[in-house]
Amino acid sequence: MKKQIYMFDMDGTLLDLAYDELIWNTVVPNELVKHHPMQPEKIKQKLHQQYTEYQNTLSWYSTTFWSNTLQIDILQLHRLHALHIQPRAGCYELLAELNRRGHECWIVTNADLANLNLKLENTLLRPYFKHIISSESIGYPKEHEQFWHHVMAKYPFSVKESVFIDDTYRVLNQAEQYGFQHVWMISQPSSQSEMKTQLPYPSINALTDLIPFISRLS
C-alpha cells in the first residue's frame, strides 16, 4: 500500500467555521459597541472594511494584529467562547482511518500560533498529526505563491504523493499551481451556512466522504 501525506486546513475543514464566524461577525462587533459610541451597524460596516483591507495577508489571520488595531483582547474573546469550537462531521473518523492505514496527516493552517494552540487545546486533533504548521511560522499566508516553497524547505515532501484539503478557492488554486495533483474542497465549511454547489474542485462535505478516494489512491 502506498503511503500518502494528507494535508488539512483547520478552520472550515477540520473544524466548523461557525465558531470563527461567531467571533468575527458577532462577538467582536458586540465588544466594540461597549467601547465606542457608535451604532452597531456602523461598527459592523467599519469592521467589514478593515477585514477586506487586510484579507489574504498574515495580518488578517493575526490575533495580535487585530488586538492592537481594535484595542480589544481578541484572543481572550476566543477563549471565552471556546465551547463553540467543534469538529466538522467525520473529522476524527477520517483521521483515525488515515492513521490506521499508515498515512501521514499534517495540519496546514493560516491560523496564527496563538489561535492554533487554543483550538488544539480545545479539541482532540493533536495526536493524529505528524506536523502542525501555521502560516505565521512560514512567513507567508497560504494564498501567497511563496508559501509552499517555504513549507517544502522546512518540511520536505512529495507534492505528487500528497493530498490537500481546504475550504478556500484561492488557497487551493495556489496549491494546484505549486504542483499538487490531488486537491479537495469543502462544500460546507460552516454548519450555519448553506452548502456550496458547482465548485471548481472535487468536493466533499463530511470528511469521511474522502475514504473511497483514499482507497482508490492507495
Q: Please give the pLDDT value at position 1.
A: 59
Structural domain of 116: 5-16+86-217
**Are 155 and 192 within one domain?**
yes
**pTM score:** 0.96
**Are 68 and 90 within one domain?**
no
Q: What share of the chain is helix, strand, coil (3-state, %, to 5)?
A: 50, 15, 35
**Are 122 and 181 within one domain?**
yes
**Are 109 and 178 within one domain?**
yes
| Per-residue model confidence as pLDDT tens digits over 147-183 | 999 999 999 999 999 999 999 999 999 999 999 999 9
Q: Phi-psi bin for 90: left (phi > 0), alpha (psi -120 to 50), beta? A: left
**Are 39 and 10 within one domain?**
no
Boundary of a domain, candidates 83, 114, 134: 83
Buried b (16+ CB within 10 A) or exposed e, 150-172: bbeeeeebeeeebbbbbbbeebb
Q: Domains in the chain: how many in total?
A: 2
| Per-residue model confidence as pLDDT tens digits over 24-57 | 999 999 999 998 888 889 999 999 999 999 999 9
**Are 50 and 72 within one domain?**
yes
**Are 106 and 183 within one domain?**
yes
Boundary of a domain, candidates 32, 50, 83: 83
Residue 66 and residue 78: Cα distance in Å, rounded?
A: 12
**Are 121 and 44 within one domain?**
no
Cell of 158: 512529495
**Are 136 and 170 within one domain?**
yes
Boundary of a domain, candidates 50, 65, 83: 83
**Are 168 and 98 within one domain?**
yes
**Are 150 and 55 within one domain?**
no
Cell of 49: 472594511
Residue 144 and residue 120: Cα distance in Å, rounded?
A: 25
Cell of 116: 492554533
| Per-residue model confidence as pLDDT tens digits over 181-218 | 999 999 999 999 999 999 999 999 999 999 999 989 87
**Are 158 and 67 within one domain?**
no
Residue 74 and residue 67: Cα distance in Å, rounded?
A: 5
